[in-house]
Amino acid sequence: MDQQRQERIKKITQSIIGLPTLPTVITQMIGLIDNPKTSAKDVAGLISTDQALTAKILKLANSAFYGFPREIATVNHAVVVLGFDTVKNLGLSVSVLERFAGGSGDTEFDRQKFWEHSIACGVAARMLAGKLRYRVQGEAFAAGILHDIGKLILSQYFTDEFGEILALVRDEDLYIGKAEEQVLGLTHTEIGHWLAEKWNLPDKLVAAIAYHHAPGRLERDAELPSLIHLADFLCRREKIGDGGGARLPNLDPAALRAFGIHEEPKAALRRIFGYGEELQAEMERADAFTSIARGDDGEAGDGEADGGDGPDDDSDDDPTPLGGSTEGELVGESRR
Ligand SMILES: [Fe+2]
Ligand SMILES: [Fe+2]
């Protein structure tokens, strides 16, 4: 719509040389995910061709995050127990995490904290998906992990500009999106959008990356971007990791409407913030992800899966709808 922005993004992205590519196995996986005819066996078969990926997936599948009491020994078994959707999205998230793992960059941008924010957003999105009855929790998790990928690109390829952006965030207490506008005339959502398309990510993930700050701009399929929008608020509020400064973005009330929430936005948001404690607890179970992001995840070596034997018994599939207690229904009305 805005030609000037189009031009700007073109100019900026053209200057990116040596763009990180996704490992072939993941590109193939994306192809499988996008194909409705794909079977669980196809996905398990593909993952099994990559030993390192297989080892990571099994490690995560056996981690406290999924909390299964018995050992999951093969990818096929993981697909049966965790579900097809979870495993394929897990494969995608893990490989992107790994692709950018480690290193802290040379600017103020702390990559560890960035990943912590992203993982928290994935964990929060998965949790809220359960509360808000968004069916595809694995997809929510992947979208959360990837939502701010544009910031990573900015930090890596536009080090000076991104340094300026972070300085504005710090010194003038600006919200990062605003600082990005000031310095680049673009935001991380646009850069992320571009990268997501370049990588051929599934359409829903592309939309989540592109619209997580303004889901209301979508005429349809706004649920996943809305979920990420809300999850982002929750992790920023809980101060987990660093999503680029302390300022909260603007709330787009469309994100609430996407889930049939017609309550006054502030009250609805307060209710969502009420899930903070639960998110913190979930985060503790998700440390297997943070260690991959730190790049200190030993390839094979450690035979035993952490936390495989003691799942906390609060099932994370808890279907309790958001705030279904005293005040009015938050999840109401048919969503389509
Ligand atoms: Fe963002
Ligand atoms: Fe974020």
The tens digit of pLDDT for each residue in 224-239 reads 999 999 999 999 999 9
Full DSSP string of 52-74: HHHHHHHHHHTSTTT--SS---S
* Cα(125) to centroid(ligand 1), Å: 14
Structure tokens at 89: 């999205």
Say whether pTM exceeds 0.75: yes
Q: Which ligand is nearest to the CA of 234?
A: 2
- Residue 253 Ramachandran class (φ > 0 left, ψ -120 to 50 alpha, else beta): alpha
* Cα(301) to centroid(ligand 2), Å: 33
Structure tokens at 7: 């031009």
pLDDT (0 to 100) of residue 97: 85
* Cα(208) to centroid(ligand 2), Å: 11
* Cα(65) to centroid(ligand 2), Å: 21
Q: Which ligand is nearest to the CA of 114?
A: 2
Average pLDDT rounded to a whole number, residues 170-196: 93
The contacts of residue 158 (CB under 8 Å, 6+ apart) are 12, 184
Dump pLDDT digits (tens) for 99-146.
887 665 555 788 889 999 999 999 999 999 999 988 888 889 999 999
pLDDT (0 to 100) of residue 104: 56
In 3-state terms, what secondary structure has residue 113?
helix
Dump pLDDT digits (tens) for 242-257.
988 888 888 999 999 9
* Cα(264) to centroid(ligand 1), Å: 23
Dump pLDDT digits (tens) for 63-111.
999 999 999 999 999 988 888 888 888 888 888 888 887 665 555 788 8
pLDDT (0 to 100) of residue 264: 93
pLDDT (0 to 100) of residue 107: 56
* Cα(120) to centroid(ligand 2), Å: 9
* Cα(117) to centroid(ligand 1), Å: 10
> Strands, DSSP E only, in 92-190?
none
* Cα(263) to centroid(ligand 1), Å: 24
* Cα(235) to centroid(ligand 2), Å: 8
The contacts of residue 248 (CB under 8 Å, 6+ apart) are 175, 233, 236, 237
* Cα(232) to centroid(ligand 2), Å: 5
* Cα(151) to centroid(ligand 1), Å: 8
Which domains, ranges and CATH numbers included, belong to the chain? 15-101+295-315 (1.10.3210.10), 110-294 (1.10.3210.10)
* Cα(187) to centroid(ligand 2), Å: 12
pLDDT at 3 over 60: yes
Average pLDDT across the chain, whole number: 83
DSSP state of 28: H
* Single-letter amino acid, residue 162: F
Task: Please count the other Cβ atoms lying within 10 Å of the Cβ belonging to residue 27.
Answer: 13
Average pLDDT rounded to a whole number, residues 176-200: 93
Ramachandran angles phi, psi of 124, nearest 5°: -65, -40
Structure tokens at 20: 């990180």
